[in-house]
Amino acid sequence: MNDEKFQEAKEKINNASSIVFFTGAGVSAESGIATFRGVDGIWTKLKPEELANFDNFLKNPEMVWAWYKYRKEVVNESKPNPAHLAIAEAQKRFTEVTVITQNIDNLHRRAGSKTVYELHGNIQRNYCVKCGTFYNNDIDIEDKVPKCKCGGLIRPDIVWFGEMLPESEFELSEIASRNCDIFVIVGTSGVVYPAANMIFYAKESGAYIIEVNIERTEVSYLANASFFGKAGTVLPRLLELDDNSGQNLL
């Protein structure tokens, strides 16, 4: 742990009024939700082209639904961890706190974060592929493949590979990224675009970039300060009000 960098980051945080947290699967790892890449990552065992792909959903909706029902259960049983809570706590001390997340697990809102832009959707929402009607968890989960009143297939409101990101969430995220003092990258491999563009928008606009991850990533070179450790350990220390040294952080 680089103590000097930790102090520098703390000082920047102390003097900032707006902060953005750009989060990925790693922020929820300590809540028991598996990440996609790396050791034990979901995509090392299962094929995204089968499970997170619209054409395959039309071919094999039962298989895709079996997978998302399992994921819904994992998410329903999970709880926000100290990383989500530290991010929500930050609302008490910054004028503006924005969470831009690639996660679909709703844990930032459950932790109390108010401004949350979900770039890849939300597993607690679903919609009909035929008429577009939205359903929350009021779909019949006993059905192998839930159907809309109009007869169309219902799918989870999750952005699959090759699909567009929700336009307004993306635009609002870009604005927040371009206008923040501090931009904190938490628990993301930073390899999935266009979401990862947010990091570049913040960098171009002169934000101080902090990265929190258990290991180096493709975007580490963009960070002014990188802290390698678990988000649930590092973030509460980094964001706490009193200015302790970073010793014993990891």
**Please, which residue, 106 or 213, has the CB nearer to ligand OAD?**
213
**Please, which residue, 24 or 61, has the CB nearer to ligand OAD?**
24
Q: Are the C-beta atoms of 49 and 128 separated by less than 8 Å? A: no
C-alpha separations of 122 from 1, 38, 145, 211 in Å: 35, 23, 18, 24
Residue matched to tokens 């259960």: 73
Residue matched to tokens 């969470």: 99
**Please, which residue, 43 or 147, has the CB nearer to ligand OAD?**
43
* 120 assigned to active site: yes
Segment contacting ligand OAD (CB under 6 A): 1-9, 86-94, 110-118, 185-193?
Answer: 185-193
Backbone angles phi, psi at 130, to 5 degrees: -90, -50
Query: Choosing among ligand OAD, Zn ion, none, which partner's interface includes residue 148 (Cβ < 5 to 8 Å by kind)?
Result: Zn ion
Nearest to 210 by CA among 20, 18, 35: 20
Positions 205 through 224 that interact with ligand OAD (CB under 6 A): 212-215, 217
| Minimal distance, residue 26 CB to ligand OAD, in Å | 2
**Please, which residue, 38 or 152, has the CB nearer to Zn ion?**
152
> What would you report as the CA-atom Rg of the chain, rounded to the nearest whole angstrom?
19
Work out which of 61, 188, 210, 223 binds ligand OAD, going by CB under 6 A.
188
Cα–Cα distance, 177 to 195 (Å, whole number): 11
CB nearest ligand OAD: which residue?
A: 26
By CB under 6 A, is residue 35 in contact with ligand OAD? yes
| Minimal distance, residue 172 CB to ligand OAD, in Å | 18
Which string of DSSP letters, residue by residue, matches 95-163? Answer: SEEEEEE---S-HHHHHT-SSEEETTEEEEEEEETTT--EE-TTS-TTSSS-B-TTSPBEEEEEPPTTP
Name the residues that contact ligand OAD, by CB under 6 A: 24-26, 29-30, 35-38, 41, 48, 52, 102, 120, 158-159, 187-189, 192, 212-215, 217, 230-231
- The catalytic residue positions are 120
